[in-house]
Amino acid sequence: MILKEIISKIRLNQYDLSEHAHVERQVEHITVKEIEETILFGEIIENYPQDPRGESVLVGAKLKNRSLHVVCGKKDDRILIITVYEPKTPKWLDYKTRSRKVKSRL
Protein backbone atom coordinates (compact mmCIF):
# COMPACT_ATOMS: atom_id res chain seq x y z
CA MET A 1 0.00 0.00 0.00
CA ILE A 2 1.17 3.50 -0.79
CA LEU A 3 0.76 6.31 1.74
CA LYS A 4 -0.12 8.79 -1.01
CA GLU A 5 -3.13 6.65 -1.98
CA ILE A 6 -4.23 6.27 1.64
CA ILE A 7 -3.99 10.04 2.20
CA SER A 8 -6.04 10.69 -0.94
CA LYS A 9 -8.81 8.36 0.28
CA ILE A 10 -8.80 9.98 3.73
CA ARG A 11 -9.13 13.45 2.20
CA LEU A 12 -12.06 12.23 0.06
CA ASN A 13 -13.69 10.61 3.11
CA GLN A 14 -13.42 7.22 1.39
CA TYR A 15 -12.61 5.20 4.49
CA ASP A 16 -14.33 3.16 7.16
CA LEU A 17 -13.48 2.23 10.73
CA SER A 18 -13.69 -1.43 11.62
CA GLU A 19 -15.71 -2.31 14.68
CA HIS A 20 -12.44 -3.08 16.46
CA ALA A 21 -10.98 0.32 15.55
CA HIS A 22 -14.11 2.06 16.77
CA VAL A 23 -13.93 0.26 20.13
CA GLU A 24 -10.18 0.89 20.55
CA ARG A 25 -10.66 4.54 19.63
CA GLN A 26 -13.21 4.93 22.42
CA VAL A 27 -11.13 3.01 24.98
CA GLU A 28 -8.05 5.16 24.27
CA HIS A 29 -10.01 8.40 23.79
CA ILE A 30 -8.82 8.86 20.21
CA THR A 31 -10.90 11.18 18.04
CA VAL A 32 -11.66 10.64 14.38
CA LYS A 33 -9.79 13.89 13.72
CA GLU A 34 -6.68 12.43 15.42
CA ILE A 35 -6.96 9.29 13.27
CA GLU A 36 -7.14 11.43 10.14
CA GLU A 37 -4.22 13.63 11.28
CA THR A 38 -2.10 10.55 12.01
CA ILE A 39 -2.57 9.40 8.44
CA LEU A 40 -2.28 12.83 6.81
CA PHE A 41 0.91 13.82 8.68
CA GLY A 42 2.37 10.41 9.48
CA GLU A 43 4.57 7.87 7.83
CA ILE A 44 4.44 4.16 7.19
CA ILE A 45 6.26 2.46 10.08
CA GLU A 46 5.65 -1.17 9.06
CA ASN A 47 4.26 -3.01 6.04
CA TYR A 48 2.23 -6.20 6.34
CA PRO A 49 2.01 -7.43 2.72
CA GLN A 50 1.37 -11.06 3.66
CA ASP A 51 -1.35 -10.49 6.28
CA PRO A 52 -3.93 -13.27 5.81
CA ARG A 53 -6.74 -10.70 6.11
CA GLY A 54 -5.21 -8.63 3.32
CA GLU A 55 -2.29 -6.28 2.79
CA SER A 56 -2.05 -3.54 5.42
CA VAL A 57 0.33 -0.92 6.80
CA LEU A 58 1.04 0.65 10.17
CA VAL A 59 1.04 4.45 9.97
CA GLY A 60 2.48 6.40 12.87
CA ALA A 61 2.72 10.07 13.74
CA LYS A 62 3.69 12.32 16.59
CA LEU A 63 0.79 14.72 17.05
CA LYS A 64 0.69 17.79 19.31
CA ASN A 65 -0.34 15.94 22.46
CA ARG A 66 0.66 12.34 21.78
CA SER A 67 1.79 9.77 19.29
CA LEU A 68 -0.64 7.45 17.54
CA HIS A 69 -0.63 4.36 15.36
CA VAL A 70 -3.25 3.52 12.75
CA VAL A 71 -3.33 0.20 10.89
CA CYS A 72 -4.84 0.64 7.42
CA GLY A 73 -5.97 -1.95 4.91
CA LYS A 74 -8.14 -1.95 1.81
CA LYS A 75 -11.72 -3.04 1.46
CA ASP A 76 -13.03 -2.79 -2.07
CA ASP A 77 -12.14 0.73 -3.23
CA ARG A 78 -12.00 2.19 0.29
CA ILE A 79 -9.46 2.33 3.10
CA LEU A 80 -10.33 0.27 6.16
CA ILE A 81 -8.98 1.51 9.48
CA ILE A 82 -8.31 -1.81 11.18
CA THR A 83 -7.12 -0.58 14.57
CA VAL A 84 -5.86 2.54 16.31
CA TYR A 85 -3.81 2.90 19.47
CA GLU A 86 -1.25 4.94 21.32
CA PRO A 87 2.16 3.18 21.15
CA LYS A 88 3.45 2.56 24.67
CA THR A 89 6.33 0.93 26.44
CA PRO A 90 7.36 -1.80 26.87
CA LYS A 91 6.31 -2.73 23.31
CA TRP A 92 7.40 0.59 21.77
CA LEU A 93 10.42 2.75 22.63
CA ASP A 94 8.88 5.63 20.69
CA TYR A 95 6.24 5.85 17.98
CA LYS A 96 8.70 4.63 15.33
CA THR A 97 10.70 2.01 17.20
CA ARG A 98 9.61 -1.35 18.57
CA SER A 99 11.52 -2.45 21.64
CA ARG A 100 13.50 -5.62 21.33
CA LYS A 101 13.78 -7.98 24.24
CA VAL A 102 17.39 -8.65 25.05
CA LYS A 103 17.95 -12.33 25.64
CA SER A 104 20.08 -13.04 28.64
CA ARG A 105 23.00 -15.41 28.19
CA LEU A 106 22.86 -18.40 30.49
Residue ranges of domains in the chain, CATH in brackets? 3-85 (3.30.2310.40)
pLDDT the model gives residue 101:
62
Q: Which of 5, 67, 11 is nearest to 36 (CA)?
A: 11
pLDDT the model gives residue 53:
80
The mean pLDDT values, 10 residues at a time, for the chain of 106 residues are 95 97 97 97 95 91 95 95 95 88 44
Question: Any alpha helices (H) in 2-104, and if so which ranges?
Answer: 3-11, 19-27, 32-41
Q: How many CA atoms lie within 13 A of 74 on its CB side?
A: 13
Backbone phi and psi for residue 53, each to the nearest 5 degrees, phi listed first: -85, -5
pLDDT the model gives residue 104:
40
pLDDT the model gives residue 103:
41
pLDDT the model gives residue 1:
80
